[in-house]
């Protein structure tokens, strides 16, 4: 009765300077989510987006790094046994006949570790290579 349709709220006859957000509201209307959702849902979606967008920005680089870290962790278990085998081989070069039974026990211990190691199928080729290298050191021990 007192105003025409679309006349309230308005920036006409304002005693104070209008903020930039109010100017944007008068020019383009309510925000997108407020047009289609209830106020509580629009507020919830805005807050969730504020949280999820930075998490997505972190998740993309992490999704590229995670497989490399996983591969490194699995291979490091194998390389640790390679280190033990290398140390045993160095001992074998300098060992006398009386030290050979102790070295055989150490080699058997490494072989047991390899046989009891559980790895994903994709890394089984590395495990078989390690087993063949253990076989080469075992052949040197027999000589």
Q: Within a domain: residue 5?
A: no
Tell me if the bond preceding 120 is cis, omega within 30° of 0: no
The count of domains in the chain is 1
Q: Within a domain: residue 39?
A: no
Range of 24-28, 45-49, 138-142 with top mean pLDDT: 45-49
Please state, in angstroms and rounded to a whole number, the distance separating the CA atoms of residues 124 and 43: 52
Q: Within a domain: residue 75?
A: yes
Full residue range of the structural domain in which residue 88 is found: 64-142
Q: Within a domain: residue 51?
A: no
Q: Within a domain: residue 69?
A: yes
**Which of 6-10, 57-61, 97-101, 130-134 is least confident?**
6-10
Q: Within a domain: residue 114?
A: yes
Q: Within a domain: residue 96?
A: yes
46-89, pLDDT tens digit by residue? 999 999 999 999 999 999 999 999 999 999 999 999 999 999 99
| Summary mean pLDDT of the chain | 88
Residue 134 · residue 110 · CB < 8 Å:
yes
Quick one: tokens of 19? 């903020």
Q: Within a domain: residue 109?
A: yes
* Claim: this prediction has a pTM higher than 0.85: no
Tell me if the bond preceding 9 is cis, omega within 30° of 0: yes
CA of 26: how far to CAs of 12, 16, 91, 93, 97, in Å?
11, 15, 84, 87, 95
């Amino acid at each position: 009765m007192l105003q025409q349709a679309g006349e309230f709220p308005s920036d006409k006859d304002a005693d104070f300077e209008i903020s930039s957000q109010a100017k944007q509201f008068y020019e383009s209307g309510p925000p997108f989510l407020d047009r289609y959702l209830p106020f509580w849902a629009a507020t919830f979606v805005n807050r969730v987006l504020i949280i999820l967008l930075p998490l997505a920005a972190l998740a993309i680089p992490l999704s590229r790094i995670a497989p490399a870290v996983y591969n490194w962790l699995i291979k490091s278990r194998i390389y640790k046994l390679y280190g033990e085998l290398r140390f045993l081989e160095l001992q074998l070069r300098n060992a006398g006949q009386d030290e050979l039974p102790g070295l055989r026990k150490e080699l058997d211990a490494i072989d047991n570790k390899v046989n009891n190691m559980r790895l994903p199928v994709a890394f089984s080729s590395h495990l078989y290579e390690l087993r063949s290298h253990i076989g080469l050191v075992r052949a040197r021990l027999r000589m």
